[in-house]
């Protein structure tokens, strides 16, 4: 898996990546030093945002943030999230292709899945109100109860 992750960084325009579990714990990373200070917090924040969006829309957690001077690509599956930081002009088809290969490899590895399976319940716990930051609590407080009940599977 490490070799596949390194392939992401070999793409022209990719600055770094991290892989985190359902609690936002960083499992693997290759990032410039400037990002390292906030990496642990970023993992938790990304996990919470993905979880909230999944609860509201019942969709997968694929996000892309495009800025003038950068791009953040997020692919989240049941028990882990892969985040890539890159140049806004990176070859997105190649990047998505490599990210999909890595996700498939992780999902196909029984050893890695066993480690990740232990954390499946953690995302739900991380989304409980007492664990959320103030901004996320405010979002939840603004939701109408039927918004939440209609977005959760029966």
pLDDT in tens, 20-72: 887 788 888 898 887 777 777 888 788 778 777 777 776 666 889 889 899 99
Residue 50, classed as helix, strand or coil, is: helix
Other Cβ atoms within 10 Å of 100 Cβ, number:
12
pLDDT for 39? 78
For residues 8 and 73, the answer to whether their CB atoms sit within 8 Å is: no
Is the pLDDT score of 106 beyond 60? yes
Alpha carbons 80 and 78: distance in angstroms, whole number: 6
Closest by CA position to 50, among listed 79, 76, 26, 78: 76
Indicate the pairing of strand 70-77 with strand 80-86.
Answer: antiparallel
- Between residues 136 and 25, the one the model is more confident about: 25
* Residue 57: other Cβ atoms inside 10 A: 10
Give the pLDDT confidence score for residue 126 in this predicted structure.
57
Taken in order of first residue, the domains within the chain and their CATH numbers are 2-148 (3.30.450.30)
């Amino acid at each position: 898996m490490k070799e596949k992750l390194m392939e992401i960084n070999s793409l022209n325009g990719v600055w770094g990546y991290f892989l985190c579990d359902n609690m936002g714990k960083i499992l693997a990373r290759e990032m410039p030093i400037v990002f390292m200070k906030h990496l642990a917090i970023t993992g938790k924040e990304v996990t919470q945002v993905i979880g909230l969006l999944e609860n509201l829309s019942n969709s997968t957690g694929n996000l892309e943030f495009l800025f003038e001077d950068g791009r953040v690509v997020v692919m989240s599956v049941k028990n882990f999230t892969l985040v890539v930081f890159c140049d806004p002009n990176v070859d997105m088809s190649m990047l998505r292709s490599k990210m999909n290969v890595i996700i498939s490899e992780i999902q196909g590895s029984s050893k890695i899945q066993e480690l990740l399976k232990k954390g499946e319940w953690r995302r739900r716990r991380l989304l409980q109100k007492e664990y959320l930051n103030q901004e996320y609590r405010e979002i939840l407080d603004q939701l109408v109860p039927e918004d939440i009940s209609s977005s959760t599977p029966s």
